[in-house]
Chains A and B, each alone.
Chain A
């Protein structure tokens, strides 16, 4: 039961956190150039965004769930199940970030999800 709960925290925490941080990054605007100074300036602006600070605790919860799951189970159990986060993430992108997830992108996400599960099963 605890394993199921931790897997839910792992999947929802990581996708929820990434979605919040994506929103924050987009609100900040991309770096003017892909140079270290411009990227650092962008990261400095991004961490001042409220969405970033919503994402961090969600990702931290997911991180600790991952550490505990790694200590309990082999990678070949944890990674295939956590691959579901690709599907959950695509749903979040479509409904929360209002991205256009067309058929090709859905097909790609499902293939990646299945592929990650197969690779982890070895």
Chain B
């Protein structure tokens, strides 16, 4: 579920960036904002990005219904590491040392958070127990 969450977020962000880059810089004037809004509404890339971000939200809500927010949130950053691995393996891109250090820090950080208890609040456990019993 966390992997699905990360994949949806990575693809969604990439599609949004591509869609907004095509639209050009947004101008803070009435016509500029109108143009930006029309671009957003008519862009297939942006809508596709929104669909992936909705998928991200659904998976995130499901995971956070039982795990801590501070436990799930850093795991989401694993997407940046995934992007770098994909860039090297699939696209054969050259990756700088600085970026590899960043990936290493993310992985160590995610592992450190992964060592902690996934759920530290009791309220969620009680509500979940009741929901299961009432099914």
A86 to B73, CA, bound (A): 7
User: Contacts A29-B127, A104-B112 given: A46-B65 contact, CB under 8 Å?
Assistant: yes
In the complex, are the beta carbons of B110 and A112 less than 8 A apart?
A: yes
Chain A nearest CB, measured from B51 CB (Å) = 14
- Answer yes or no: B131 CB below 8 A from chain A CBs: yes
Do B103 and A26 have beta carbons less than 8 Å apart? no
Bits for A18-43, please: 1 = Cβ < 8 Å to B, else 0: 11011001111111101000010011
Q: Is the CB of A90 within 8 A of B73?
A: yes
Which residues of B1-45 are within 8 A (CB) of A? 1, 16-17, 20-21, 23-26, 28, 36, 40
Query: Which of A63, A89, A100 is the one whose CB lies under 8 Å from B117?
Result: A100
Question: A120 within 8 Å of B by Cβ?
Answer: yes
Interface residues on A, range: 35 or more
Q: Is A67 in the interface zone, CB < 8 Å from B? A: yes
- Interface residue SS majority, chain B: helix
Alpha-carbon distance A90/B81, docked complex (angstroms)? 21
Cα separation A93 to B119 with both chains bound (whole Å): 12
Q: A72-B26, A105-B70 are in contact. Are A100 and B120 (CB under 8 A)?
A: yes
In angstroms, how far is the closest chain B Cβ from the Cβ of A114?
A: 5
Which secondary structure characterizes the binding site on chain A? helix
Complex formed: what's the CA distance from A51 to B89 in Å? Answer: 42
A111's contact among B20, B70, B109, B130, by CB below 8 Å, is which?
A: B109
Query: When the two chains form the complex, which single residue of B58, B77, B130 contacts A86, counting CB atoms closer than 8 Å?
Result: B77
Partner of B124, one of A26, A63, A109, A111: A26
Q: With contacts A22-B69, A72-B25, A115-B103 known, what are 16 further pairs, Cβ within 8 A? A: A18-B64, A28-B127, A29-B124, A31-B62, A71-B26, A83-B77, A86-B77, A93-B68, A99-B68, A111-B105, A115-B81, A115-B101, A115-B102, A115-B105, A117-B102, A119-B103
